[in-house]
């Protein structure tokens, strides 16, 4: 896997799409596949800002956590066993612990997300992530995820 990924590369890796694809670039993926640094550019044209909050737009904490999880998914995908097709599996949250929000995130901010793989246990990956704006911690959390086969797509019945 390359050391950095642009948005097209990320879309090849992750199943998420607008408005739920929440990382824009991977600037670093360690050789050991245990650390990732990703960027999320926060812009006013994102749909959550029409209601959260119109006079003082703030990125919802749950979306910050999701952006951190998507960054960690890049590590998880790179660590899949060679016999597992990443296109045929999905990662699901199994737990979020110690989530903390230290500052608000607003349009114009750039989240720099650092994700770390800690260990695999009972078929789950355990990660921790920190999202920073201008070098200051905006949010942090420990996360567990498990991969499962993706649901099979069925063709619509012919009439």
How many angstroms separate the CA atoms of 48 and 114, rounded?
Answer: 23
Q: Is 52 annotated in the active site? A: yes
Q: Which of 16, 25, 35, 52 is catalytic?
A: 52
Instruction: Give the closest residue to 89 by CA, choosing from 76, 98, 102, 100.
Output: 76
Which residues belong to the active site? 52
């Amino acid at each position: 896997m390359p050391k950095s990924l642009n948005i097209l590369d990320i879309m090849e890796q992750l199943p998420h799409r607008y408005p739920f694809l929440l990382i824009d670039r991977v600037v670093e993926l360690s050789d050991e596949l245990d650390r990732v640094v990703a960027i999320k550019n926060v812009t006013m044209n994102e749909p959550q800002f029409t209601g959260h909050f119109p006079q003082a737009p703030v990125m919802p904490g749950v979306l910050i956590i999701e952006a951190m999880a998507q960054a960690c998914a890049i590590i998880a995908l790179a660590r899949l066993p060679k016999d597992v097709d990443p296109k045929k599996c999905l990662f699901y949250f199994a737990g979020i612990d110690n989530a903390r929000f230290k500052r608000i995130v607003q349009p114009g901010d750039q989240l720099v997300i650092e994700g770390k793989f800690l260990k695999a246990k009972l078929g789950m990956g355990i990660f921790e992530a920190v999202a920073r704006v201008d070098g200051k911690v905006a949010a942090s959390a420990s996360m567990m995820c498990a991969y499962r086969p993706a649901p099979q797509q069925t063709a619509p019945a012919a009439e």
